[in-house]
Amino acid sequence: MTQTLHLVGEPEADRILTEHPFALLTGMLLDQQVPMEVAFDGPRKIVERLGSIDPERIVTHTVKRGETLWSIAENHLGSGNRYPEILKLNNDLLRGKPKFLRPGWVLTLPAAAQADAGQATAKSDRAHSRYTVVKGDTLSEIAQQHLDDAEAWPRIFEASRGIPQPDGRRLTDPDLILPGWHLLIPSAAEATPELPTSPEPERVETTSATSPPPDASAPPATPAPTPVAETSPATGGAVPIPVAPSSAPAAPSPSASATVASDVSNDNNRVSEASDRDAEALAPWVLAGLTGAGGVLAAGLLAALRQRRRAQFRARRPGRTIQAPPPELVPVEKTVMTEGQAATPSLLAIDQALRLLAVSGEDRVAPPQLLAVQLLPGEVAVQLVEPITLAHPWRPDPADGRRWLLAAGSHEQAATARSAYPQLVSVGLDDDGATWLVNLEQLGTISLTGDPTYAADFARYLAAEIAVNPWARQVQLDCIGIAPEAVPIDPARIRHHRLEDPVPLDAAIAAAAATIDKCATHDVTAAAGRADDLGGGVWESWLVLVNGALSSSPLDRLLALVEDHPARNGTAVVMVADTEPVRGLGVRLTGQGRVLIPSLGLDLIANGLTPAEAEGCARLLAHAELLSDVEIPPDGDDGWREYCDAAGAIRDELVLPRQTDPVSEPGATVIPAPDAEVLDVAATTADDLQQLAPHVPDKVRAAVERSDPDLDADLAAWAAGTRPHLRLLGPIQARTGTTGTPTVVAKRKAFYTELLAFLVLHPQGVSIDQVVDAFGTDATQMRVHLSKLRSWLGVDPITGGNYLPDATKSPAGIARGMGVYQLVGVLADIDLFRRLRSRGQARGPEGLSDLQAALGLVTGEPFTGQRGRGWAWLADGVRIDQHMVCAVVDVAHTVTIAALHTGDLALARRTTETALVAAPYEDTPRLDLAAVLAAEGDRQAAERMLQEDVSNRADDGDAPDDLPERTAELVASALWLKKGRVA
C-alpha cells in the first residue's frame, strides 16, 4: 500500500505528489529556490494549467514567422476557435494579447494537442496515402508515378503543405522538397473529379477539375455547356482563402497553387495541361485572379482600399491606430498592394483615355461608340464601332479607320460627372502581353459558353471590376443565380437574387425602358445622354449577370429591349454558361482558361475570380470599413523599444493620469497646463491630452534615457551624413555613408533600398529563409543581393566592421550560433523619430525640443514611392507604415497644442503644416489648422476651414461622409473658435 504524502497540506496537491514520481522530483527541484510549501504545490499548478504532470503529455510549440494563435490552434487543436486555451496557458508570456507573437517563442499547448494532432493526421492519412521523398524526386515525377498524371502535382502540394516535416519546416515551395520529407498523395479519383452534369442552382458552386477539355481551336458549336451552379452567399465567418489558383491560368508555376489559413481541397482549381502564359512564378501568397490582365481589378481594389483606409485614419483618435486585417486576409492585401500598385498607371491611363474619347469625336456632343480597348506599352488603343476622325492628340491606326491610339500621359482631361463608357471591363491578356477591355453596354447581350466553371469565374470577375473601376461608379449590377461573393465589395450597387426570386429583373427592365424613352426624346445614344445628364436627370447604366439555367418571360422581355434598341438602352446582359441556342453575342470559355470572342477576333487568357478569391477581396474591403480604432502595439522589447509602442509613445502601463500629484509621484507632463486652459485654445479633448501628454514618473524618464545613451550621437551622425541612412518618413530614399560604393546598385537602387528597409525594420536580424520568403527569390541569388548591399553600405570607419556583417559574424548570428543578417550602425529616420518622441515625452516641458526635432525628420507622407510589386512584406508584421502616420500626426498635434497655449503661433502653424503633408486625409491636422487660424485672428478662415475642409469634405467625389465622433464633438464645441484668443 502506497503511503500518502502530506507535504503541502492541500489534499489535491498531496495526491499528485503521491501518485506521480515526476511531480515529487519537480517539487524537490523547486525547493532549492522557493519555500517548501510553495515548491511542492508547484506540480498541482502545472496540472491545472497543462492538464498533466507527465512530461510526455506536455506539448510545446516554437513560434515560426507568420504564425498566429489561430493558426497554431487550428494545426494542433483542430480548430482556430480554441486559441483562447493557448492564450490562457501562456498568459505570462503573451500578457493577454493574442495578436502579437514573436518567432522563437515557446508556447505551452493543452495536453490534448497531441491527441488532436494525431486524430487530424489519421483523418488525413485515411484520405491520402503517404510518401517519403528520396533524393532526386520532384513533385511532377511523384504525381506521374502515383497519379499517372505529372500535371496533377498541385494536388500533392496542396495536400502536403500543412504537414510539419521532420526537420521542423513545412512545404512552401513546390520546387523545393527534401529527402526524408513526407507527402500526402490524394487518390487518383480525388485528383480528377468531374463537374456536375445538370444545373443545381442552389448548391455550393464547385470549381473542380474536368477531364481533358476539347481543343481550344475547335469551333464554338461543341456539345452544349453545363449551366453553372450558383454559389451560396457568403456567411460572415472566417473561411480559408485560396491564394493562387484562379480560373486565369497565371502560369504553370508550382507556387501558384498555395492557400492561406488552411488547405482548400474543395476548391479544386484546374491547372492546364499546357501553359498559356510564360511568366515568372507567382509568390505563394498571390491571388492569381489579380495578376496579368487582372491587374486592372487589382488597381481598382487598391484605390478602393486606400480610400477606406483614409476614412479609418480620419476616424481614429490620437494615440490609437487603425485595425489591421486578420491573418487570413494578409495574402489578399499583399496581392492587392503589389499587383495593384504595378497596374495603377494603366488604370489611370484607361480612365484618362475614356474621358478624352468622350469629347474627341467629330460631333463633340455625341461620344464615339466604343467597342474595345487594348492596353499597350506606353499607350492606349481604342476600337470604335465605325470609322470616324478623332481630334489631337489621338493618332489613327493606318490599317484600321476604327482604331485610334493615345500616348499615356499625353493629355489631361478634366473629370466629368458621368462616364460615357461605364461598363468597360477587362476580359483577358493576349499572347503579346496586352490587356484587352470590352464595352459590355455596346455589346448588349453576351452569352458565355464553354466551360461552366471558367464562365462563372469570368462573370464573377466582371462583377468585381464593375464594383471598383473608377469609371463604373454609376453602374447598377444585378447578379441572378451567380456571383453572390461580389455583393459585399459594394453592396450599395450590387445585388444578388436567387433563381426562383419572383421579380429579380423588374428594376433592370424599368431602367432599360426609361433609358430607351429618354434616347428617343433627345435623339441621342445612352452614352451621349449620360455624359451630359440630358433632361436634368441621371441616366442609369445597368448590368445583369444571369445564370444560364434561367428561362423566364421577364428575361425574354429584357433581352428583347436590349436587342431592339442597341446603344440606346443603357443595359448589358451577360448569360453565364448559357444553353444552346445562345441568346446573345457568343463568348466561349475553354477548359484551358482562354476566352474566345470571335466577333472581335480575340483569343485571350481569360480573366477570372474563384469564389474564394472574390470573397477574400470583399472581406478585405469590408474590414477596411471598420472605423473603430485600436491600441498601437509594441515593436520589440529590447533597448529603447522596451519603453514605447510602435509609434514611439511611452507605453500605457508606464504612465499615470495627468492629474497625478507631482509631489506624491515625482514626474512631469509635456503639457503641464490645466486641461481647461488648453481646451480654450486648442482643437483637442481631455482624452487626447491624457493619451499624448500623460504624467511620466521620474523613474520612467530615467529608464528611458538610460535605454538610449547614443541618441544624440546618432542625430549628429544623421545630420553629418557620415553613416548610411534610410528615409521612410516621406518619399523613400537611401544614402550610403562616406565608405559606401554607390555604383554597385546602379539601375537597381529601388530594389536594394527595399532590401535595406527590410533589414532596418527587423533590427533583431533575419535568416536567409526570412529574406527569401519576403522577396520571393532563391537563397543563392539572395545571398548575392545581400553581398551587393554590404558593398553599397560600406564599412564603419570607427569600428572597421561592415554595416552589414557576414551572417555568422553579426551580433545576432554570434548569439544564436547561426547565420543572421543584421545591420549595425545604419540610421533610419523612423527609429530616430520614435527615440526622440519617447525621450521628449519622458522629459516633460523640456522635451518639446525633442518632439520638434522628430518632426524635422518628416519630408512627406510616410513610405511613399515604393517599388512596383515590392514591399508586400510590410503587411506581414507590425504595420509600421500605418503606425508612423499616426506617430507624425500625434506628435504634431502635441506640439501644436503646446504652441497654441504659449502663443507661439509660428511654431503651431509650421507643425500643423508638417502633419498635413504627412497625412492630408486625417481630421486632426485640419482641426489644428482651424485653431491656428482662429488664434491668428482670422476667424472667417477658421470657420471656412471647418465648413469646407472638415464638415463638407468628400474625398471620393460622393456626398460628404458622416463626421467621426471626435471630429463632430470638436466642431460642435470649438471653444477656441468662439473665444478667438491666445492664452
Looking at the structure, tell me whether residues 88 and 146 fall in a common domain: no
Q: Is residue 313 part of a domain?
A: no
Confidence of residue 207 (pLDDT cuts 50, 70, 90): very low
- Name residue, grid cell 458621368: 418
Confidence of residue 197 (pLDDT cuts 50, 70, 90): very low
Confidence of residue 577 (pLDDT cuts 50, 70, 90): confident
pLDDT of residue 436: 97
Burial 447-470 (b: 16+ CB within 10 A, else e): bbbbbbbbbbbbbbbbbbbbbbbb
Query: How do residues 309-347 score in pLDDT, each as one tens digit?
Result: 999 999 999 999 999 999 999 999 999 999 999 999 999
Please tell me the distance from the alpha carbon of residue 188 to that of residue 128, in angstroms, as a whole number.
Answer: 10
Strands (E), 598-753: 602-606, 630-631, 667-668, 696-697, 725-727, 733-735
Looking at the structure, tell me whether residues 817 and 836 fall in a common domain: no
Give the mean pLDDT of 120-148. Answer: 71
Confidence of residue 50 (pLDDT cuts 50, 70, 90): low
Query: How do residues 603-629 score in pLDDT, each as one tens digit?
Result: 999 999 999 999 999 999 999 999 999
pLDDT of residue 108: 79
Burial 693-703 (b: 16+ CB within 10 A, else e): bbbbbeebbee
Question: Of 604, 621, 638, which residue constitutes the final position of a domain?
Answer: 621
Looking at the structure, tell me whether residues 49 and 179 fall in a common domain: no
pLDDT of residue 443: 95
Query: How do residues 750-760 score in pLDDT, each as one tens digit?
Result: 999 999 999 99
Q: Is residue 143 part of a domain?
A: yes
Looking at the structure, tell me whether residues 33 and 96 fall in a common domain: yes
Residue 670 has pLDDT above 90, yes or no: yes
Q: Is residue 431 part of a domain?
A: yes
Q: Is residue 732 part of a domain?
A: yes
Q: CA triplet 405, 608, 444: central angle to 5 degrees?
A: 60
pLDDT of residue 151: 74
Give the mean pLDDT of 124-128. Answer: 50
Instruction: Name which residue leads in pLDDT, 179 or 607.
Output: 607
**Residue 521 belongs to domain with CATH number:** 3.40.50
pLDDT of residue 360: 87
Looking at the structure, tell me whether residues 704 and 729 fall in a common domain: no
Backbone angles phi, psi at 185, to 5 degrees: -105, 115
Answer for the pair 693, 796: CB distance below 8 angstroms, yes or no.
Answer: no
Give the mean pLDDT of 239-258. Answer: 34
Q: What's the Rg (C-alpha) of the chain?
A: 32
Give the mean pLDDT of 375-387. Answer: 94
Confidence of residue 122 (pLDDT cuts 50, 70, 90): very low
Answer for the pair 304, 850: CB distance below 8 angstroms, yes or no.
Answer: no
Residue 709 has pLDDT above 80, yes or no: yes
Please tell me the distance from the alpha carbon of residue 264 to that of residue 615, in angstroms, as a whole number.
Answer: 14
pLDDT of residue 168: 64
Looking at the structure, tell me whether residues 604 and 747 fall in a common domain: no
* 450 grid coordinates: 464553354
Confidence of residue 251 (pLDDT cuts 50, 70, 90): very low
Residue range of the domain that includes 689? 654-708+830-861+883-977
Confidence of residue 892 (pLDDT cuts 50, 70, 90): very high
Looking at the structure, tell me whether residues 487 and 596 fall in a common domain: yes
In 3D space, the residue among 506, 314, 361, 394 whose CA is nearest the CA of residue 924 turns out to be 314
Please tell me the distance from the alpha carbon of residue 978 to that of residue 170, in angstroms, as a whole number.
Answer: 64
Q: Is residue 792 part of a domain?
A: yes
What is the DSSP code (8-state) at residue 710?
T
Query: How do residues 544-557 score in pLDDT, each as one tens digit?
Result: 999 988 888 999 99
Query: How do residues 527-574 score in pLDDT, each as one tens digit?
Result: 888 877 787 888 889 999 999 888 889 999 999 999 999 989 999 999
Query: How do residues 823-848 score in pLDDT, each as one tens digit?
Result: 999 999 999 999 999 999 999 999 99
Looking at the structure, tell me whether residues 495 and 573 fall in a common domain: yes
pLDDT of residue 281: 52
What total of structural domains would you count in the chain?
5
Please tell me the distance from the alpha carbon of residue 98 to that of residue 78, in angstroms, as a whole number.
Answer: 18
Looking at the structure, tell me whether residues 595 and 459 fall in a common domain: yes
List own/partner pairs for 581-584 with CB under 8 A and 24 or more apart.
Answer: 582/447, 582/449, 583/445, 583/447, 583/559, 584/443, 584/444, 584/445, 584/446, 584/447, 584/559
Instruction: Name which residue leads in pLDDT, 783 or 282.
Output: 783
pLDDT of residue 613: 93
Question: Of 600, 621, 642, which residue constitutes the final position of a domain?
Answer: 621
Give the mean pLDDT of 472-493. Answer: 92
Give the mean pLDDT of 225-246. Answer: 41
pLDDT of residue 812: 93
This prediction's pTM: 0.73
Q: Is residue 225 part of a domain?
A: no
Instruction: Name which residue leads in pLDDT, 504 or 6.
Output: 504
The pairing of beta strand 541-547 with beta strand 475-480: parallel
Give the mean pLDDT of 142-159. Answer: 81
Residue 203 has pLDDT above 80, yes or no: no
Looking at the structure, tell me whether residues 844 and 761 fall in a common domain: no
Residue 867 has pLDDT above 70, yes or no: yes
Helix axes 768-775, 749-760, angle to 10 degrees: 130
Confidence of residue 982 (pLDDT cuts 50, 70, 90): very low
Looking at the structure, tell me whether residues 170 and 138 fall in a common domain: yes
Give the mean pLDDT of 643-666. Answer: 95
pLDDT of residue 936: 92
pLDDT of residue 33: 60
Other beta carbons within 10 Å of 859:
17
Q: Is residue 983 part of a domain?
A: no
Please tell me the distance from the alpha carbon of residue 355 to that of residue 369, in angstroms, as a whole number.
Answer: 13
The average confidence (pLDDT) of the chain is 82
Q: Is residue 291 part of a domain?
A: no
Looking at the structure, tell me whether residues 855 and 812 fall in a common domain: no
Question: Of 621, 638, 663, which residue constitutes the final position of a domain?
Answer: 621
Answer for the pair 414, 355: CB distance below 8 angstroms, yes or no.
Answer: yes
Residue 242 has pLDDT above 50, yes or no: no
Other beta carbons within 10 Å of 4:
11
Strands (E), 548-688: 571-576, 585-589, 594-597, 602-606, 630-631, 667-668
pLDDT of residue 221: 36
Residue 158 has pLDDT above 60, yes or no: yes
Other beta carbons within 10 Å of 361:
19
Strand (E) or helix (H) holding 320: strand 320-321
Give the mean pLDDT of 7-20. Answer: 78
Residue 192 has pLDDT above 70, yes or no: no
Instruction: Name which residue leads in pLDDT, 766 or 222.
Output: 766
In 3D space, the residue among 418, 416, 457 whose CA is nearest the CA of residue 441 turns out to be 418
